[in-house]
Structure 1
């Protein structure tokens, strides 16, 4: 496919009957379902306010990275439900889902979010434990006698 044909691909916004855009985000074992709609910038996670759910400021910073990069900080209300994993993985899953939802709402934001890696699913997961080992890679302690 030549670059001229790729430039002609026009993406349509995917908005439901309630005026929301939906996307799923994943990170480690966490899965986030994210809806965004135009509003004053209220973020709700699992029915709680974002400050109550993600108490650490670093996690809230991870969450708002796509909005800041796109310059849409207080323009969208974000509602999300997150399951699985720990808080760090859940924050990453919400960031991934939020980035995808933004591109569904405003397809032209893809060029802003893609170079920063917000649309890429982070494939790093915990390595499984192997038999004959204490952990995934750690061996049992060697004893000569």
Structure 2
């Protein structure tokens, strides 16, 4: 049986990521795929690896992630948030460095809702003086 060292939930926009830290050699699995297969761009892979780079634990843990909702960019940032929380749950000394880099704060920016009687959140119908 596989033992989780710690687990946490990370969120961004409408994405929710459940992150499980296990003893291992640095493999990251996202929804059953390797992270470099799931996140196609190197920028998103960089975002996912940021907490591991800051805490120097790139090859210490195997990370299993289940992520749902939103797009790939939001999912990558949700994974970063969850991974940061899991690293702090595993070792409290990581908190100061992760907080200094802004990985512990949930990004509150969400899509603004569409208003009734209008074409979009901010978009208005064309004004006609006459």
Fold equivalence (TM over 0.5): yes
Aligned residue in 1 for 2:36: 51
Instruction: State yes or no: 1:83 paired with 2:68.
Output: yes
Output one character per residue of 1:74-109: Cα deviation in whole Å (capped at 9) or x when no partner.
211110000111101100100000000000111111
Partner of 2:100, secondary structure, is coil
CA distance in 2: counterparts of 1:20 and 1:70, whole angstroms: 16
Point out where structure 2 has 5 or more consecutive residues left out of the alignment.
Answer: none
Q: RMSD of the alignment, in Å?
A: 1.3
CA distance in 1: counterparts of 2:73 and 2:30, whole angstroms: 14
Which structure 2 residues correspond to residues 1-145 of structure 1 after superposition, within 5 A?
18-144=3-129
User: Contact 2:4/2:20 (CA < 8 Å) preserved in 1?
Assistant: no
Output one character per residue of 1:30-70: Cα deviation in whole Å (capped at 9) or x when no partner.
00000012211000000001111100111101000011011
Partner of 1:73, secondary structure, is coil
CA distance in 1: counterparts of 2:52 and 2:46, whole angstroms: 10
- TM-score (structure 1 length as normaliser): 0.84
Point out where structure 1 has 5 or more consecutive residues left out of the alignment.
Answer: 1-16
- TM-score (structure 2 length as normaliser): 0.94
CA distance in 2: counterparts of 1:113 and 1:101, whole angstroms: 11
| Higher alpha-carbon deviation: 134-143 or 53-62 | 134-143
Cα offset, 1:124, TM superposition:
0.6
